[in-house]
Structure 1
Amino acid sequence: MKYLIGIIGLIVVLLLAWLFSKEKKKIKYRPIAIMLVLQFLLAALLLNTSLGNVLIGGFAKGFEFLLGYAAEGVNFVFSGLLNEDAGSNFFLNVLLPIVFISALIGILRYLKILQVIMGGIGYLLSKVNGMGKLESYNAVASAILGQSEVFISVKDQLGLLNEKRLYTLCASAMSTVSMSIVGAYMTMLEPEYVVTAIVLNLFGGFIIASIINPYEVDPSEDILEVKKDHKQSFFEVLGEYIMDGFKVAITVGAMLIGFIAIIALINGIFSAIFGISFQDMLGYAFSPFAFLMGVPWSEAIHAGSVMATKLVSNEFVAMEFLANNTYDFSGRTTAIVSVFLVSFANFASIGIIAGAIKGLNEEKGNLASKFGLRLLYGATLVSFLTATIVGLIY
């Protein structure tokens, strides 16, 4: 029965993307079919095989190793306040290690190791997805640099992009997550779900964009070269990335304080007036989608509530509810909801992406604001697609 529901859910997701496509006749179905098959194969590899367990275990141990060194820096500054046993201080244990991970990304970028990796993977992806090399590079870069920083790496190409190509770049940025905060996610979710979501979202972003936003790329306009205004020294790059990481940590912390407090207030008001919390009300709206992703109907309303919380606030707020086991989900529901949460698809990201682009190119930033809701719609479908595939595989 779960396979029938999952297949229906998959069809619904693709149909919802198709309904919002402006040029349905230009959709390339062969690359979409290939990427769907790759998603199923990769999900099965990562979740259901011993090799997948080894890969995810190695990835998780690598981040655990790095987070141990991050704790040294945090503990030095905060003089023993870091509680390794209880893990109770969210800001110290989860957010501040982002500073160290961001610094490492800066070092790898200065040494041009990241550029080689991103360019190589991007080139291979372009052979599969039927899109340009720039779109493929940007998708990989988004998963490493983050949804704001990635546009700096392609700022010279922004002025050359039409609306369709810009949409795809923005969709990739919103559908993925930054490597600098993956360690933070792994303190709240199981590493296997985080890694699986990152991999599947990469292809899912191309699939949904190919349906909603189909187009042809002129090879002469597919410029991949990344330029800088001036060559920065090692310590300039290191200092820049350390401060970027600190800004991200502070920003996420501030957003969590505000959103969690507001959600608590709204829940209290709704409970007093209507006898039901605001989150539960959202849960009813999202429950059919949760059910089609593979969540049992008995858990669909609460799962829908967590999913909706991510959409209206951000993924950290929703992960906090999930990590605290607020609703006592089954293992399968936890897997499905977890992978759904691993992306930047929320309302706040519209402003973040548009603002980042506008700072580099005002015209293109205004254009990104124009298709902001359509962008969020597509990125949310990517999360639904990933979660539905995991529901079929798990």
Structure 2
Amino acid sequence: MFSTLNAQALTGIVFVIAVCWLLSENRKRFPWRLALGAVAVQAGLVLALFAIPGSQGVLAAITGAVDGLARATNEGAKFVFGYLAGGDQPYGVTNEPALFTFAFQVLPLILVISALSALLWHWKILKWITYGFGLLFQRTMGLGGASALAVAANIFLGMIESPIVIRAYLDKLTRSEIFLMMVVGLATVAGSTMVAYAAILSPVLPNAAGHVLVASIVSAPAGVLLARILIPETPGEGGEVADYRSTLKYDSGIDALVKGTADGLMVVLNISAVLIVFVALVALVNVMLGGFWLFDGPVTVERVLGWLFMPIAWLTGVEWSEAGIAGRLLGVKLTLTEFVAFIQLGAVPEGEMSERTRMLMTYALCGFANIGSVGITVTGLSVLIPERRQEVLGMVWKALFGGFMATVMTASVVGAMPMGVFGS
């Protein structure tokens, strides 16, 4: 049944598109057909993945697969790290939840999934799935073959790995196409981190793995739309054709596993370093703000972010009574990375947040659009296309805005649908 919360979410979709149009480099070239098509593709994908007969069985299988991967990874982590990764404890345990260690119980998942992703790419399984989505985006959203393939690759690979898939075409892409690739890369997540997010949320959100997977898929069309609004393509330019023979190749299955593990290790190290630095910086700011009080509490970065992002959270279809905590999570995602935001979302007690709000926040948080990713994006693309580094630097902050708003738009599209679609 349609409710005021659904109307809020519809308003959120209009708001996101309108704000991006106001910031557009060419407001006269608003892509009306793409706007209608992108929202339709998003809604259609969500309905196809949740509402069609048998979809719940597929989602249950995905959840089972993720649980199996988590258990298998935990065995490897326990072999290396022992009791730090949940192995037999050498002392009596009085507070079992305190045994959770992010570094030893979540990050190892990234290593395993990164290796498996490389192997599936070498076996051409993931490659053909990516090509299928590429053709879908090419036919339905009017993208050039190279851009469509990069967008599809972003759903499963990282925001730096996906440009490697079309490395031979990067120097031929227009400014608008490079911007589009950046926005979609920030609006989606890699397959390796999807499983980690699902593992964090599975105790508190039914079908967590399915929601995280769908979130990354349906944010891609939103990223395409907002990128085209912010920096429209010049008529007659773009549309570089790709022959779909990727430059991302491995010599053998063992080579794929070894290189995938090495790539995963770099991701783990980057995540660890960024989390340490950004959490420390926020803590430092909180110390400096410690002498200020407002509304019967000390002023902190988290409280300020909650106030700033409260209206945006409400526009995704969240109850106003929960918009404060939801807004704080959006702010944490932007400043401290989505990993911290997902950990905090998973730690919210069931009685303090409804299942609807938790689900909507899963979609809104599921993207690499955070300040730390700006540096990763610039560094990665500067290596791949050094001659266009200044161009990338000039667009990266606008790309961060587009990627962040794309996940908000995705949450609004999901929020506009009746909860019955999701089996609740």
Superposed pair shares fold, TM > 0.5: yes
**CA displacement at 1:231 relative to structure 2:** 6.5
Q: Structure 1 residue 314 and structure 2 residue 333: aligned? A: no
Higher deviation after alignment, 149-158 or 51-60: 51-60
Alignment partners' CA distance in 2, 1:171 and 1:219 = 17
Higher deviation after alignment, 61-70 or 304-313: 61-70
Residue aligning to 2:199: 187
After superposition, the C-alpha distances for 1:301-322 in whole angstroms (9 at most, x for unaligned) are 2211110111012001111111
After superposition, the C-alpha distances for 1:172-202 in whole angstroms (9 at most, x for unaligned) are 1111100011110011222243123112202
Sort the Cα spacing of 1:54 and 1:365 in 2 relative to 1 into closer, same or farther, 3 A. farther
Residue aligning to 1:206: 224
**CA displacement at 1:233 relative to structure 2:** 4.4
Residue aligning to 1:262: 281
**CA displacement at 1:48 relative to structure 2:** 5.4
One-letter amino acid matched to 1:59: I
What are the equivalent positions in structure 2 for 1:10-89 lying under 5 Å apart? 10-47=13-50, 51-83=54-86, 88-89=100-101
Sort the Cα spacing of 1:195 and 1:220 in 2 relative to 1 into closer, same or farther, 3 A. closer
Alignment partners' CA distance in 2, 1:90 and 1:147 = 23
What are the equivalent positions in structure 2 for 1:129-140 lying under 5 Å apart? 129-140=141-152
What are the equivalent positions in structure 2 for 1:1-394 lying under 5 Å apart? 1-47=4-50, 51-83=54-86, 88-189=100-201, 190-215=208-233, 216=235, 221-226=240-245, 228=247, 232-274=251-293, 275-325=298-348, 328-393=352-417, 394=419
Alignment partners' CA distance in 2, 1:137 and 1:280 = 40
Alignment partners' CA distance in 1, 2:249 and 2:326 = 48
Alignment partners' CA distance in 2, 1:389 and 1:325 = 24
Sort the Cα spacing of 1:15 and 1:219 in 2 relative to 1 into closer, same or farther, 3 A. closer
Report the secondary structure of 1:188's partner residue: helix
One-letter amino acid matched to 1:72: E
Residue aligning to 2:205: none
Q: Percent identity?
A: 27
Contact 2:223 2:403 in 1 (8 A): yes
TM-score by length of 1: 0.92
Contact 1:45 1:51 in 2 (8 A): no
Report the secondary structure of 2:232's partner residue: coil
One-letter amino acid matched to 1:240: K
Contact 2:149 2:166 in 1 (8 A): no
**CA displacement at 1:102 relative to structure 2:** 0.8
Give the total of aligned pairs: 394
Where in structure 2 are there 5+ consecutive unaligned residues? Answer: 88-95, 202-207, 420-424
**CA displacement at 1:163 relative to structure 2:** 0.8
Contact 1:82 1:93 in 2 (8 A): yes
Alignment partners' CA distance in 2, 1:121 and 1:297 = 37
Alignment partners' CA distance in 1, 2:250 and 2:77 = 31
**CA displacement at 1:364 relative to structure 2:** 2.2
Higher deviation after alignment, 282-291 or 359-368: 359-368
Alignment partners' CA distance in 1, 2:100 and 2:315 = 35
One-letter amino acid matched to 1:111: W
Higher deviation after alignment, 224-233 or 124-133: 224-233
Alignment partners' CA distance in 2, 1:151 and 1:276 = 41
After superposition, the C-alpha distances for 1:29-66 in whole angstroms (9 at most, x for unaligned) are 22321221232233344455663322222212122222
**Aligned-pair Cα RMSD in Å:** 2.4
Report the secondary structure of 1:177's partner residue: coil
One-letter amino acid matched to 2:362: S
One-letter amino acid matched to 2:228: S
